[in-house]
C-alpha cells in the first residue's frame, strides 16, 4: 500500500451487527437452496421457480413462524435462541461446522442446559478451599462444575478465548477452540472423560437432562460422537495431565477424582504437581 492509498475505515458496532445479520440471512438462503423437498420428506409440488426449499417449508419443519423466519433471513434485528437455531440447523441438515457458523452469526452461543442445583455441605466446601494451593473443583457425574477453589481459578484463568458459558469439564474441552493446544494429552483425556460419562449414563438412561446433553454433544462435536460410539466405560483413576498455557512452560499434574460420600454423584478433582518445576510454575500463577 502506498502512502496515498486510503485504508478502509473500521466498521462501528452497529455496522458490524448489520453485516453479521446480512451474512446470516445469506447463509440461511444458501443452506435451504441446497435442499430439495425430497431431501426432507416433502412432496415435490409444482410451480417452483427456483431450486431448494421455500421459506415456509423451512419454518414449518423447524416449528417456527413463517414471518419470524422471513425476518431472520432478511437480517432484521430479532433475537434467536439456541433452541430455535438448533431446530433450524437440524431442518437444513447442517453439519457441525455449519451449525457452529450459524450460532456465531446469530450471536447465540449454544449453551447446555443448566445443571440441577447441588447442595454442597459446608464441611465439603471448607475441605475444597483448604486444599489450596492445590487446584481443586467439585463436579457432578455429568462433569458440571459446582464449585472451585482459588488455586483452580488461577490455574485456568486463561483457558477460554471468550467467557465460559458451559461450566462443565467435558464441554469446556470440546467447545473451546484452544483446548487441544492447552492439554498435552488431549485425546486421551477426552476419551477418559467420555468413558467416565458413559459409565454413569447407565444409571440415567431416559433422564431428559442427560439425554438432551448427550444429543447436543453428538450434534456439535464429531470427536465426542466418535468416542461415544465406542461404548467405552472407565472407573475413577489417577490421571496424568499436562497443562500448556500461553507464556508458561508446560505444567504436569496428577489428577485425582474422589467421591464425596455425603452427596451422591458429587466428585472432587484435585490437581497435584508432579515435580518441583510444575509446583513452582503453579505458584507463579498466583502472583
Q: Which domains does the chain carry? A: 13-105 (1.10.260.40), 122-284 (3.30.450.180)
Residue 8's pLDDT is what? 44
Phi, psi torsion values for 274, nearest 5 degrees: -80, -20
The residue whose grid cell reads 446433553 is: 213
pLDDT digits (tens, 9 = 90+) for 30-79: 999 988 888 888 877 666 666 789 999 999 998 899 999 999 999 888 88
Do residues 221 and 175 make contact, with C-beta atoms less than 8 angstroms apart? yes
Res 7: pLDDT: 44
Q: What is the helix (H) or strand (E) element at residue 225, kind and residue range?
A: helix 222-228
Per-residue model confidence (pLDDT) at position 211: 86
Measured CA to CA, the distance from residue 207 to residue 44 in angstroms comes to: 39
Cα diameter, the chain: 75
Query: In which element (H, E) is residue 90 found?
Result: helix 82-91
Angle at 208 between CA 114 and CA 60, to 5 degrees: 95
- Confidence at residue 163, expressed as pLDDT on a 0 to 100 scale: 61
Alpha carbon distance 282, 70 (integer Å): 53
Q: What is the pLDDT along the chain (287 residues), one digit of tens a residue?
A: 444 444 444 556 677 778 888 889 999 999 999 888 888 888 776 666 667 899 999 999 988 999 999 999 998 888 887 778 888 988 999 887 787 788 878 877 655 555 555 678 999 999 999 999 999 999 999 999 999 999 999 999 877 766 666 789 999 888 888 889 999 999 999 999 999 999 999 888 888 788 888 988 888 888 999 999 999 999 999 999 999 988 889 999 999 999 998 888 899 999 999 999 999 999 998 87
Distance in angstroms (rounded) separating the CA atoms of residues 65 and 123: 51
pTM of the entire structure? 0.63
CB atoms within 10 A of CB 69: 22
Question: Exposed, middle or buried by CB within 10 Å (0-12, 13-18, 19+), for 7?
Answer: exposed
Query: Cβ(222)–Cβ(96) under 8 Å?
Result: yes
Contacts of 251-256 spanning 24+ positions with Cβ under 8 A:
251/278, 251/281, 251/282, 252/278, 253/135, 253/278
| Spatial distance between the Cα atoms of 178 and 124, rounded to a whole number of angstroms | 32
Amino acid at each position: 500500500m502506498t502512502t496515498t492509498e486510503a485504508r478502509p475505515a473500521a466498521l462501528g458496532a452497529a455496522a458490524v451487527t448489520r453485516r453479521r445479520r446480512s451474512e446470516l440471512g445469506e447463509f440461511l438462503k444458501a443452506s435451504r437452496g441446497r435442499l430439495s423437498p425430497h431431501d426432507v420428506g416433502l412432496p415435490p409440488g409444482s410451480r417452483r421457480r427456483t431450486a431448494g426449499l421455500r421459506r415456509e417449508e423451512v419454518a414449518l419443519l423447524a416449528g417456527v413462524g413463517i414471518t419470524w423466519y422471513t425476518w431472520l433471513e432478511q437480517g432484521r434485528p430479532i433475537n434467536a435462541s439456541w433452541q430455535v437455531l438448533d431446530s433450524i440447523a437440524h431442518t437444513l441438515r447442517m453439519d457441525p461446522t455449519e451449525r457452529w457458523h450459524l450460532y456465531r452469526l446469530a450471536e447465540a452461543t449454544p449453551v447446555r442446559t443448566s445443571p440441577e442445583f447441588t447442595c454442597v455441605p459446608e464441611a465439603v466446601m471448607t475441605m475444597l478451599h483448604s486444599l489450596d494451593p492445590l487446584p481443586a473443583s467439585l463436579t457432578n457425574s455429568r462433569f458440571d462444575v459446582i464449585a472451585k477453589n482459588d488455586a483452580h481459578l488461577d490455574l485456568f484463568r486463561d483457558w477460554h478465548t471468550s467467557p465460559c458459558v458451559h461450566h462443565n469439564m467435558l464441554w469446556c474441552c470440546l467447545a473451546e477452540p484452544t483446548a487441544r493446544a492447552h492439554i498435552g494429552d488431549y485425546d486421551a483425556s477426552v476419551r477418559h472423560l467420555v468413558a467416565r460419562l458413559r459409565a454413569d449414563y447407565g444409571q440415567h438412561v431416559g433422564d431428559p437432562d442427560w439425554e438432551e446433553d448427550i444429543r447436543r454433544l453428538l450434534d456439535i462435536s464429531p470427536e465426542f460422537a466418535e468416542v461415544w460410539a465406542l461404548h467405552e466405560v472407565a472407573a475413577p483413576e489417577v490421571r496424568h495431565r499436562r497443562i500448556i498455557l500461553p507464556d508458561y512452560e508446560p505444567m504436569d499434574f496428577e489428577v485425582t477424582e474422589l467421591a464425596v460420600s455425603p452427596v451422591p454423584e458429587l466428585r472432587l478433582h484435585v490437581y497435584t504437581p508432579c515435580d518441583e518445576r510444575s509446583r513452582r510454575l503453579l505458584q507463579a500463577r498466583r502472583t
